[in-house]
Amino acid sequence: MPLEAWMTTAVVLAVLVSLAATRHGPDLILMAGLTLLIVLGVLSPQQAFSGFASTGLATVGVLYAVVSGVTETGGVYAVAQRALGRPRAERVTLLRLMLPVSAASAFLNNTPVVAMLIPAVQDWARRNRLSVSKLMIPLSYAAIFGGACTIIGTSTNLVVAGLAAEDPSLPAIGFFEVIWVGLPGLILGTAFVLFFGGRLLPDRQSPLTDQGNLKEYSVELLVEPQAAVAGRTIEEAGLRHLPGLYLAAIERGASILPAVAPSEKLQAGDRLMFVGKVDSIADLYKIRGLTPAADQIFKLDSPRHERVVFEAVPASDSPFLGKTIREARFRTRYEAVVIAVARGGKRVPGKIGDIVLSLGDTLLLEARPAVLERCRNARDFLLVSALDGATPPRHARAGVAGLIVLGMVVAAAFGGAPMLAAALVAAGLMLLTGCTSASKIRATIDWQVLITIGAAIGIGQALEQSGAAAAIAGFWIGVAGANPWVALLAVYLVTSLFTEVITNNAAAVLMFSVAEATAASLAVSFMPFIFVIMMAASASFATPIGYQTNLMVYGPGGYRFSDFLRIGVPLNLLFAAATVLIAPLVWPF
């Protein structure tokens, strides 16, 4: 190998060791490796940063805007409630997550499927006291399993099929032809995750995501007229098993129903009295048809989706101390409404308007963001803190957001539109229709993921351009000798290795010519090699940088590099064995 190839190999090994042995973010490590390749002269700055101009990176970035629209309209909550339901056994939970994702990914691009479901799975795991680290890797793997079953399931399959179509001596590859190796992989991979995922996946998050804030509030919510939850039982409405929160009573007309049974049906006009931790209040705000029961809440001028919920601790000389909340006239004085009060970390019982405020109370208020900033600068409060995730969703726009996403998917999957173009149009429509805002989109974008993807593409380009990848491939294929089965296994393993450290499409293109030469030298059919390359380049499980859906779940799942190695290496070997055994039986040598 030339000197540049040796230097590139050394840098890549250093990056992989750093990812596995340290807790530094993958964006920092990969950017450090990319910088070193520039300093060593392996890549020019233009080549190194070309990954940040890639279509794949741009698509992921734009999809965050689409996801923002779905999240801000409450679509994420609806997906979690209806598709995932109530968890029972761990394996049943994983099965309910993985099978729909695999089915969708067989016909849709993996990236938007995973992008849409990450916030839904996060929300569902938190509300059901599950560790999100048990679910994020299965989410990504399920998308990979399904994508490997059809030609359009992944861009890699399309690339390989396109390369094969350029050779007139090869038969045309059918839409579902890859399913002969893809479906067994899906079945084996899903079974592996179901039976071994519990032991191999980490569990780093406590069942309750945040125990740091122990203040307890009593909150009253009103069931609005025509609300979707009206006529449903407490269980069906999703009001049971909320983390750190329980329904204490229902006030219905002149009567109060204590110790509410799960089978009790809600009625329009019911006042629901919840008791729980402050961070759990955000869950209630995501339920369509429920609104704070404080009388003054309806007199605020701004729409509810433009408001924020925040905590405020009164100063010792606050003018409203010693007065009831009704007498304090918060709406007139601050353009805010008190929706709950905590005293000494405990809830204050009684009607919210009748509570007499005392020094040391913590108030939970709802108002416009500008009011939050004004309260922070006011002398009447010692401390003001916003409650994350408690902004009410724009439920009225949920149907619009759903139609936009459906249009994006149909245009990309069946209309021939590039995924980036479809995503850009969808993001623009989310803004134009008021499903989200520019500030929300900026807050949604995960810059660590985008930087990691861009840097990984640059490092992969260095492996390819320096000749290191070709030299490594040629060496290992040469070791296989004259046995076509061993050569087929070598092609799979080398392609899989390259997929883990460079982009899957680059690995497939690189190995296509190597495998074609290998088949010709052995005087055997090239067809089994084609499908082995498809599977090896698509089935990337052992590292987070090998496939962009792995990268997308890396941060939200709270993973380390070693977590992917622990479950991904045996899964890679399982796919290798199944594919190498099946491919020559379907497409003989």
Q: Are residues 196 and 278 in the same domain?
A: no
CA-based torsion, 307, 71, 548, 542: positive or negative: positive
Residue 244: inside a domain, yes or no? yes
Q: Are residues 185 and 64 in the same domain?
A: yes
End-to-end CA distance of the chain: 32
Q: Are residues 254 and 112 in the same domain?
A: no
Average pLDDT over residues 235-255: 77
pLDDT of residue 468: 81
Q: Are residues 470 and 334 in the same domain?
A: no
pLDDT of residue 209: 44
pLDDT of residue 196: 93
Residue 199: inside a domain, yes or no? yes
Tokens linked to 503:
């982009």
Domain extent for 132: 3-204+448-586
Residue 397: inside a domain, yes or no? no
pLDDT in tens, 126-143: 777 788 899 999 999 999
Q: Are residues 269 and 181 in the same domain?
A: no
pLDDT in tens, 391-449: 667 777 888 988 998 888 788 767 778 878 888 999 999 999 988 888 888 888 888 87
464 has pLDDT over 90 = no
Q: Are residues 67 and 188 in the same domain?
A: yes
485 has pLDDT over 80 = yes
pLDDT of residue 447: 85
Place of tokens 């996060």: 122
pLDDT of residue 170: 85
Last-in-domain residue among 328, 345, 361:
361
Residue 420: inside a domain, yes or no? no
pLDDT in tens, 66-76: 888 887 887 76
Select, from the ranges 147-151, 180-184, 212-216, 469-473, the one with the highest average predicted confidence (pLDDT): 180-184
* Strand-pair category, 290-292 with 271-277: unpaired
Residue 291: inside a domain, yes or no? yes
Q: Are residues 11 and 78 in the same domain?
A: yes
Q: Are residues 296 and 161 in the same domain?
A: no
> What are the b/e assignments for 460-499, b being 16+ CB within 10 Å?
bbbbbebbbbbbbbbeebeebeeebeebbbbbbbbbbbbb
pLDDT in tens, 141-193: 999 999 889 887 787 887 788 878 877 888 888 878 899 999 999 999 999 99
pLDDT above 70 covers a percentage of the chain that reads 89
CA distances 235 to 271, 289, 529, Å, are 17, 16, 53
Q: Are residues 224 and 353 in the same domain?
A: yes
Q: Are residues 37 and 112 in the same domain?
A: yes
| Cα 300 from Cα 252, distance rounded (Å) | 25
Does pTM surpass 0.85?
Answer: no
Q: Are residues 572 and 535 in the same domain?
A: yes
pLDDT in tens, 486-501: 889 988 998 898 888 7
206 has pLDDT over 50 = no
Residue 161: inside a domain, yes or no? yes
Mean pLDDT of all residues belonging to the chain: 82
Element (H, E) at 338: strand 336-343
208 has pLDDT over 60 = no
- The CATH code of the domain that includes 269 is 3.30.70.1450
Residue 197 CB-density burial (10 A; 0-12 exposed, 13-18 middle, 19+ buried): buried
pLDDT of residue 293: 72
| Structure confidence at residue 87 as a pLDDT band (50, 70, 90) | low
Residue 194: inside a domain, yes or no? yes
C-beta separation of 132 from 174 below 8 A: no
Q: Are residues 338 and 467 in the same domain?
A: no
pLDDT of residue 575: 95
Residue 390: inside a domain, yes or no? no
pLDDT in tens, 355-384: 899 888 888 888 888 888 888 888 888 888
Question: Into how many domains does the chain fold?
Answer: 2
